[in-house]
Structure 1
């Protein structure tokens, strides 16, 4: 990947990781990803904004082979997909200093072999003059680690946001030209990584709203030369009410739960509710996370395994609680034979969420006529709650 010029003296470098399919041994990457670094060359000083994952370090170093000097490495975030190649850059540019928040300095020393005397720490609002190009540092903790910051390039009106507003999307294009594709990738990224920090993100959106921004340059995915596209998307995901959507993550072993899910889905659709069922045995968990961004209600559907919920349902409940979506209502449906504690165990897993629990429908064996009536009543109750919440 060759350097891509954004503005005179400002280039995007880094690496596109086309083939990567899993991040942190946890997050699916159906479209690969990129690790964006940026070179800002002033009249007097040169700054490298972030580096790349060590797996692609050789690409970055090839891009830097003709760069005669780097005075500063701006480390927005200590996670290794951005910081991991800092030691290699410091080895090549021995006079360079690492610029970061005080907390990031501690993290970077813990994570990487960087001597303490290599650091310059900056406070919120501090600036660094490169000679005709001024970097202004904006502390932005919890997007998505506590040490993070943004950089605003004053003269060129570029906001470098590291993980914030990014997308796991491998692309050879500089800008987000296919906005439909980028929207989905950015939403998946928000859902899986940023959504647990929604309250912090709301504050950071407010903090940057008065900046004159022409370009947003994140450290994953394409650059935005239409900043309002991604800012408006984040405002919707963070600030808007949840929508008239019910998610039904389910597991079925012998067909009882699947029959209940199919019946409840039809009952809700008849009453004007959008329903999204997810068979947890085959679901891309990232798709489920994306759906959580908008949903008002989650109905966990599980059979009984050793008197408790199925492990896949436990994972879905754990994930829902960890991601802290805007969900307002939760219920549980499922079946058992000789006994079950599944409802109690599942409902105890949502301590992070400010939700109302709608009474469960947990039945013995295969659903019978009275059980379908109970599912109709559950559908009616969900509709009632949605109307009371002003989302239907």
Structure 2
């Protein structure tokens, strides 16, 4: 299993390695990519993984991003003659994995393209040329010979509506593309260093898989019938070989926790139309940060009966506007009609534009939902320009607002129910008053905090407890930088009042507040007693909070003789 990196000047490299008998990985390493589809920041770049399996017949599993066109094609043709490709397995049609399908088919017109029915439909509209195809569904097999018999597993919405896994019985390797991956770029072909990859593996799950937790569990249930899985050949990051059981168990645990939620929101979008899929993913991520389950549905490929059943049991709906023309206009219009007919009073609704060529207008449909008794929970997201980081921040915050609104009664009930001697005793744990401020790219955030404790001398470090549904949580991943502003006793009321208020999605938290810019780029509150510039070193998960350990880089006090503001509570079950 020897890996051979080939470097270029643009920090786009290709790595090849034999990962199992007759099986070669081609990994396109995107070292400097700092965002994925804009809405999710990356700390360690990413990779796009493709695989060659040589039996008596030859199969290629996925391709690569179009930015790697020449590098990838040169590498592929150096390993095989494209005319020898019998099958091209398409796990799903997202462009970072299928971006070079048209190029491959030009080199290998004889190849049979294998994928789910939906994937092949999408692919026909992408490549605009005829090709041989084979539709596979759950349990179907393709035998390459020499023991390489592939079984296919339906895995829709992980995280694309047309996703399908494939399992090579000969090598006991499961090819999963987006699932069980991570945006982590390194020369390591496999997951030897679990500690190094764990934060990125979790962040990737939270952003892309967590909103589809029930779909994760459904796919993993189907995986149980395959037998032993020795390796997971994913589409992003190092392949899973040394910690397969542990990392699959984590998906199971995280997904079960999310699927237990009492309330569910259905998010309807149109894959690969305008920015519908990206906007919907950001909203879903915001919802999933609260104690609310999310189920995502592609309007182009949904089953009417399943849509009707889902809508009838949901507490909230989010609808992305489809095109009023085009190939799928009739199907999407019919699904919108099904959603409207199945919706009911006391549900909440949120809507967004897709910024495609001819979005259906929001207002006429929104009026129909209102007339049916649904409550609009966040202002409709109307895209007038190409979405930016700030747009996706607004989308995530809108989703979090929806989730918090749906769980408000539970939160109030919990606060009232725990007014016990123990709870009052816990409330006597006092803390200082601080405001965390952070900036990543265009996105800025702030949060009032009192659960802050020094945790180490060398290096200087402390911990902060951050609730999972806080907007700033996304800006406090491992490697992120922020400022801890320490408030002054007797001189904190105005800042505390400002940052305690509820901000609208996308609203500037710092409007009207005096700030300076820290060396790490985050805002420093001019009226704070002191500040510390910090970097997140690690995170530990608790039930409803993240414990964030951070290392201190720079600090300064404005008044040497002043004291830190102290926060005293009466009970321990809420702030």
Aligned to 1:194: 209
Q: CA RMSD in A?
A: 3.8
Shift of 1:87: 0.6
Shift of 1:235: 2.2
2:93 corresponds to 1:81 = no
- Name the CA distance, whole Å, in 1 between partners of 2:38 and 2:124: 24
- Name the CA distance, whole Å, in 2 between partners of 1:92 and 1:35: 20
Contact 1:251 1:312 survives alignment (8 Å): no
Aligned to 1:381: 573
2:46 corresponds to 1:37 = no
- Name the CA distance, whole Å, in 2 between partners of 1:249 and 1:199: 36
Aligned to 1:345: none
- Name the CA distance, whole Å, in 1 between partners of 2:476 and 2:200: 10
For 1:166-193, what per-residue CA distance to the aligned partner results, in whole angstroms no more than 9, with x for missing partners? 0101121211111111111111110111
Contact 1:249 1:313 survives alignment (8 Å): no
For 1:190-239, what per-residue CA distance to the aligned partner results, in whole angstroms no more than 9, with x for missing partners? 01111100111112222212421111110101111131121122123222
For 1:297-325, what per-residue CA distance to the aligned partner results, in whole angstroms no more than 9, with x for missing partners? xxxx99489x972544699xxxxxxxxxx
Aligned to 1:276: 466
Aligned to 1:216: 232
Equivalent residue for 2:60, pick from 44, 48, 66? 48
2:281 corresponds to 1:265 = no
- Name the CA distance, whole Å, in 2 between partners of 1:65 and 1:165: 28
2:165 corresponds to 1:150 = yes
2:155 corresponds to 1:140 = yes
Contact 1:251 1:313 survives alignment (8 Å): no
Contact 1:250 1:313 survives alignment (8 Å): no
Aligned length: 299
2:418 corresponds to 1:232 = no
For 1:42-98, what per-residue CA distance to the aligned partner results, in whole angstroms no more than 9, with x for missing partners? 12x111000101011222201111312211110001100001111111111121121
Shift of 1:134: 1.0
Aligned to 2:110: 95
Unmatched 5+ residue regions in structure 2?
A: 1-13, 261-289, 292-399, 401-433, 439-444, 454-462, 481-495, 510-543, 545-565
2:76 corresponds to 1:64 = yes
SS at match of 2:161: coil
- Name the CA distance, whole Å, in 2 between partners of 1:12 and 1:174: 9
- Name the CA distance, whole Å, in 2 between partners of 1:175 and 1:215: 10
For 1:81-125, what per-residue CA distance to the aligned partner results, in whole angstroms no more than 9, with x for missing partners? 001111111111121121110011122223x22434432211211
For 1:229-274, what per-residue CA distance to the aligned partner results, in whole angstroms no more than 9, with x for missing partners? 21122123222489xx99999779xxxx98x923x4369xxxxx97
Q: TM-score, normalised by structure 2?
A: 0.47
Q: 1:282 to 1:205 in 2, by over 3 A?
A: closer
SS at match of 1:72: strand
SS at match of 1:3: strand
Moved over 6 A (4+): 245-252, 280-283
2:124 corresponds to 1:115 = no
Aligned to 2:222: 207
Unmatched 5+ residue regions in structure 1?
A: 268-272, 291-300, 316-354, 356-371, 384-392
- Name the CA distance, whole Å, in 2 between partners of 1:70 and 1:249: 58
